[in-house]
Structure 1
């Protein structure tokens, strides 16, 4: 039976990320876009469990990995997910914290 990412230790998470990366690479080579996207999202989620959610704080401006020029402001945290608003929109969205990069406020 497979473990959830939240039940894995750091070494198990790294192994899972490596396995998912290999699956994503194969899916990309075979042109399986949807499968590739699923693996990429699972990798981002697994990487989030290697980070400390306390390093991410509400009101801070971040850029979303894979979406250059975007801005994301955290409204609140729920585990390894940050909930907030992208590009000033009024619709709340959630991202795994591994997808957020601190952005310099301008």
Structure 2
């Protein structure tokens, strides 16, 4: 039975990220797009557990790694997930539904 990332030590998470990165590289080389995407998602999750959720503040806007067309407004934190919504380049809320992003997807805080 696989363990949850929340049960891993920092060192174990670091090793897991390195292993997943190598697997993702190989999948990309062989053109296995779906497998590559799965490894990328796992890397994002493992990295989230290596971060401190206290570094992210509710009611604050952050850049989104890999999505320069949007920022993310954090309404509240729940573990390693930031709950809120995306904001497009015009400053409008993108979509009606609240979503959760792993904190590893959040970049720098956006100054208002």
On whether the aligned pair clears a TM of 0.5, the verdict is yes
Q: How does 1:38-57 map to 2 (within 5 A)?
A: 38-57=38-57
2:28 equivalent in structure 1: 28
1:103 equivalent in structure 2: 109
1:93 equivalent in structure 2: 99
Under a length normalisation based on structure 1, what TM-score does the superposition of the two structures give?
0.92
Root mean square deviation, CA, Å: 1.2
Under a length normalisation based on structure 2, what TM-score does the superposition of the two structures give?
0.88
Unmatched 5+ stretches in structure 2: 88-92
Q: For residue 15 of structure 1, report the CA deviation from its aligned partner.
A: 0.5
Contact 1:64–1:100 (Cα < 8 Å) also in 2? yes
1:16 equivalent in structure 2: 16
2:6 equivalent in structure 1: 6
Q: For residue 71 of structure 1, report the CA deviation from its aligned partner.
A: 0.8
**Number of aligned residue pairs:** 106
Show structure 1 runs of 4+ deviating over 6 A: none
1:65 equivalent in structure 2: 65
